[in-house]
Amino acid sequence: MENKIYIKNLADLFSCNVKTGDIENKIKCLTIDSKVVNSQFPYPMYLNAFVGILVLSGTANANINYKNYFIEANMIVLLTVSHLFSFNNCSADFKCRCLFVSKEFMEDMDATDMIYRRIKYGARLYSRPVLKIESSTDVALLNERMIAIDKSIGNTNHHFHKEMILNNLFAFYLDLSNVIESKANNKDNDTNLSQYENIIKLFIELLVANYRKEHKVEFYASKLNMTPHYLTFIVKRITGQTVTDFVFEMLYSEARNLLTHSRLSMQEIALQLNFSDQSSFGKFFKRKAGISPLVFRGK
């Protein structure tokens, strides 16, 4: 592949000055236009979050797991941590409402656990992530739910801030699940994942869950019941990058996040990311950033 593939955390998107622990590092809901889409998602990336994109107007092309999709108003794009995606050719009037929910925030939602798992692990949504919503009532309702989530995120003075967000999020997932269930009744054109696609999906999910502690190819290969050589071959063939590239990209992204949004010491960050010592972490970070983690934090 020509373009580098990125793995990003939610804090990497839509640069904004948020304090350590702010909920906006874990969940965002906002309306964006073609300019923002072109600036944020022009290159293939995996995002460590659930993404729901409700198209309000205009058209665009979405490339998801190496398949092209034409998207327009009254469509919703549902992406998980195992979807590789980018957007291009947005019309000038393109506008969408986007919900980004980090895996960490998802794990706090006990009440919506089953809904989340159905969305996250459903092979149908993996292979068919773009849904046309036939009912204008459903479109309006999902839009209203997302607006409510956005308002609750912004209402930081509420004594039950997080609980209000969770309640609105729960309502959104119930309505979204209703749309998905209605679509699932139509079995036409269901497709199976290819063997390689399924391996990549499983690898990315393993990576997101384990990259802080497990840095070696052997761990991921053993979990997938294959040799390190075979896993490396598949990942390289499908993505153009190695397993190690993906692990290091995740570690570097998390290191930047911890240096920016936490008060952990260098030694504590090194320990949290399972480096042998602070010196090893410093060398790794400097190779990726060109500067030491201390200098990076100072900036």
Looking up residue 47, the CATH number of its domain turns out to be 2.60.120.280
Instruction: Provide the pLDDT for residue 283.
Output: 96
Instruction: Provide the pLDDT for residue 108.
Output: 59
Q: Are 167 and 187 in contact (CB under 8 A)?
A: no
Mean pLDDT over residues 135-142, rounded?
96
Rounded mean pLDDT of the chain? 85
* 190 occurs within a structural domain: no
What is the number of domains present in the chain? Answer: 2
* 189 occurs within a structural domain: no
- Map 81-150 to HEC letters: CCCCEEEECCCCCCEEEEEEEEHHHHHCCHHHHHHHHHHHHCHHHHHCCEEECCCHHHHHHHHHHHHHHH
The residue from 184, 212, 244 where one domain ends is 184
- Each residue's pLDDT tens digit, 15-62: 544 444 578 788 999 999 999 999 889 889 999 888 999 999 999 999
Strand partners, 27: 101
Q: Are 288 and 153 in a shared domain?
A: no
Q: Are 140 and 256 in a shared domain?
A: no
Mean pLDDT over residues 242-251, rounded?
90
* 277 occurs within a structural domain: yes
Residue 144: pLDDT above 60? yes
Q: Are 179 and 264 in a shared domain?
A: no
Residue 96: pLDDT above 50? yes
Q: How far is the CA of 168 from the CAs of 110, 111, 148, in angstroms?
A: 14, 12, 6
User: How many Cβ atoms from other residues are within 10 Å of residue 60's Cβ?
Assistant: 23
Q: In which domain, by residue range, is 241 found?
A: 195-298
* 106 occurs within a structural domain: yes
Q: Are 103 and 32 in a shared domain?
A: yes
Interhelix angle 278-289/243-261, rounded to 10 degrees, is 100
Q: Are 52 and 74 in a shared domain?
A: yes
**CA 87 to CA 98: how far, in whole Å?**
13
Block residue for tokens 């010196």:
279
Residue 181: pLDDT above 90? no
Higher pLDDT, 106 or 225: 225
The residue from 184, 207, 242 where one domain ends is 184
Burial code of 133-144, b = ≥16 C-beta within 10 A, e = fewer? beeeebbebbee
Percent of the chain residues topping a pLDDT of 70: 86
Under DSSP, the state recorded for 135 is -
The residue from 184, 210, 230 where one domain ends is 184
* 232 occurs within a structural domain: yes
